[in-house]
Structure 1
Amino acid sequence: MMVPAALLLLGALTAMLAPRLLARARWPEREPVVALWVWQCVVGAVLLCFALSMLLSAAAAWQAVRGRLFAAAPTGVVDAYALGSAGGAWAVGTALALAGCGLWTGAMLTREVLRARARRRAQGAELLLRAPLLPGEDPAGVRLVVLEGQRPASWWLPGAAPRLVVTTAALGRLKGSQLDAVLAHEQGHAAARHDWLLHCSRALSGGFPQVPVFAAFEEEMHRLVELAADDVASRRFGRLTVALALVGLNEDSGVFGPYSTPQAHVPQRVRRLLSAAPRLSAGRRVQLTALATLVPAVPLLVAFVPALSTLA
């Protein structure tokens, strides 16, 4: 039973320490796409630790599970894990608790997806009411919808029939290629499927609000997806154009004032674009990506150490 306990400890330490370590790093703002991958790998490693601990605890608690889990294993592998002699109430309780957490995670993700789908349908119906399809327009195609509105705004509505929405106030406020930069920003969200990252992070944070890594995961996803989309737009239209577009869309909303607002990240994004910090070298980006990819391999290695030692 040492392996399930070690996996639990590893998952708990990762959940507590990873957000602190990543918060101290300064490179994520320079490479938001790499940072998104690092966060996904860290959260995946935490979930994998708990999933593997659940399986091994269930194998220690119930002979039927043990027989199925190690059905194809060579002789001596089961003995190496010492599952049969150290089961008991601890193994049963751990397996049931982790299984309950897994079911709760699935329920939270399902709820988040259903809510997002309901919101998209409601918003899509409202858009069709305010901006009906033109004769001959494909209802399943990508649409650019212009809405009458006094507030400058632009957003991407994902779904089976994606829509890129911009208000008339935004058309009047943005000059030159600024509108193209805003549209490129929203298309960057759509191409990278950032909505799914937000769904997953929101589901984990909502289901387990006391787990530091999940709370930080949601906060960082909201921030990093915006930085990544800014970079997509700036590569096509320049950092200054994207920064001016952000100012134009948000200057009347109070985000640049002395008080905190829900869009407090906008001034930070503008400063980041204007500072034009250089990207990391290609070698450094590859190194960080490779190291992050290896993080989920650590719980796998811990789980398979007894089996590998037996086979050796």
Structure 2
Amino acid sequence: MMVPVALLLLGALTAVLAPRLLARADWLDREPVVALWVWQCVVAAVLLCCALSMTLSAAAAWQAVRGHVFATAPPAVVDAYALGAAGPWAAATAMTLALGGLWSLAMLVREVVRARGRRRARRAELRVRAPLLPGEEQVSGRLVVLEGERPDAWWLPGAAPQLVITTAALRRLKERQLDALLAHEQGHAQARHDWLLHCSTALADGFPRIPVFAAFQAEMHRLVELAADDMASRRFGRLTTALALVELNEERGVFGPCPAAQAHVPQRVHRLLTPPDRLPALHRLRLTAVAALVPVLPVLVAFVPGLRALG
């Protein structure tokens, strides 16, 4: 009964090697959408290794689970997994991995609940700062303007997503810069980047000692901004998008010698003004295909004994 152990070793190897290989890659900033896909495949492979190892360990430890997992399998396939030869570690492994899965789900639920709470608080603040006048009816628009002396803008997702922008930002941004800002935020909404951020934050908070999840969270926060920048720049130009970023963040100290929060903004502006060459289409397709094979590998490892028995 070595398949669960092999799956755990494969998951650990993927968790250790993949972030190091991606950190050395020089194409991530050039192709953020492909990089997002690769990172998702890596994390999916790690989680899949744990899930398959848990399932096979549980099947080895308890006859009831084995009956459900191998309900339609021929006797030769069941014998190929040597489930009866499993030691006492099978039940402990299955329980540990099951608790890890439940903990991951709990962290994801907590993150979603917190995000919804923050969204409700911002909408309540919006109603206070921009109340309806007597006799005015609520209009479902995608742009809300607030009085404010500081240039700021943010996207409120939900059933009726809205871009909130202050009057100071409107005075600073020209028409095409405002369109680029709107396109940037729409890029986040269309690609559902909020769910990527929720999942990465849940894993990083739930398992803070596992470096692959911390790297996953950091890269998601960086790459989603680059991907949205590219979407805006394709429609309104890189210079216009870069100027919109500068106008919004110039008074926040992010361009000084000692930038505080949002230190990634200068790198984003530099990337927009000096765009790197994109990878050839065939290269992008090859990276996408190879990344898609990463989660397939644990499935192949799990099914090898059964396939051998059938062959």
What interval of TM-score do these two structures reach, taking the shorter chain for normalisation? over 0.9
SS at match of 2:98: helix
After TM superposition, give the deviation of residue 142 of structure 1 in Å. 4.4
| Aligned pairs (5 A) from 1:182-201 | 182-201=181-200
Residue 27 of structure 1: CA displacement?
0.6
Aligned to 2:218: 219
Letter in 2 for 1:22: L
Question: What does residue 82 of structure 1 align with?
Answer: 82
| SS state at 1:269 partner | helix
Could you tell me which residue of structure 2 aligns to residue 102 of structure 1? 101
Give 1:147's aligned residue.
146
CA distance in 2, matches of 1:117, 1:137: 22
The equivalences for 1:261-276 within 5 A come to 261-276=260-275
Q: Which amino acid aligns with 1:206?
A: D
Q: Deviations over 1:207-258 (max 9, x none)?
A: 0011111000000000000000000100011111111111111111111112
Segments of structure 1 that go 5 or more residues without pairing to the other structure are none
Which shifted more, 5-14 or 171-180?
171-180
Q: Distance in 1 between matches of 2:282 and 2:141?
A: 37
The Cα of 1:133 is off from its aligned counterpart by 4.9
Match in the other structure for 1:251: 250
Alignment of 1:117-132 (within 5 A): 117-132=116-131
Residues 167-220 of structure 1 deviation map (CA, whole Å, 9 limit, x = unaligned): 111111112411111111111111111111000000000000111110000000
Report the TM-score when normalising by structure 2: 0.97
The residue number in structure 2 matching 1:10 is 10
Residues of 2 paired with 1:161 and 1:126: CA distance?
Answer: 16
Question: How far is 1:151 from its partner?
Answer: 1.5
Partner of 1:178: 177
The structure 1 segments of at least 4 consecutive aligned residues displaced by more than 2 Å after TM superposition are 132-138
Once residues 294 and 227 of structure 1 are traced to their aligned partners in structure 2, the CA distance between those partners, rounded to angstroms, is: 25
CA deviation vs aligned residue, 1:260-280 (integer Å, no higher than 9, x gap): 422010010011111111211
User: How far does residue 136 in structure 1 lie from its aligned partner after superposition?
Assistant: 4.3
Amino acid at match of 1:144: L
Q: Which amino acid aligns with 1:117?
A: R
Indicate yes or no: 2:240 matched with 1:241: yes
Cα distance between partner residues in 2 of 1:22 and 1:133: 50
- 2-structure distance, mates of 1:132, 1:77: 67
The SS at the match of 1:12 is: helix
Return the offset for 1:79. Answer: 0.7
Which amino acid counterpart does residue 65 of structure 1 have in structure 2?
V
Equivalent position amino acid for 1:17 in 2: L
Q: 2:110 aligns to what?
A: 111
* 2: CA distance, partners of 1:90 / 1:142: 58
What code does the residue aligned with 2:238 have?
R
C-alpha displacement at 1:113, in angstroms?
0.5
CA distance in 1, matches of 2:238, 2:51: 43
User: So what's the TM-score if we normalise by structure 1?
Assistant: 0.96
Are 2:37 and 1:37 equivalent residues in the alignment? Answer: yes
**Aligned-partner residue type, residue 285 of structure 2:** V
SS of alignment partner, residue 156 of structure 1? strand
SS of residue paired to 1:84: helix
The separation in 1 between residues aligned to 2:235 and 2:158, in whole angstroms, is 25
Match of 1:296 in 2: 295
Structure 1 position 143, deviation (Å): 2.7
Distance in 2 between the 1:133 and 1:295 partners?
53
**Corresponding position of 2:90:** 91
Tell me the amino acid that sits aligned with residue 294 of structure 2: V
In 1, the alpha carbon distance for the partners of 2:288 and 2:207 equals: 27
Q: What residue number does 1:286 align with?
A: 285
Superposed counterparts of 1:153-172, under 5 Å:
153-172=152-171
Matches within 5 A, 1:46-85: 46-85=46-85
Q: Percent identity?
A: 74
Deviation at 1:17, TM superposition (A): 1.3
Pair 1:93–1:142, CA change in 2 (3 A)? farther
| SS at 2:83 equivalent | coil
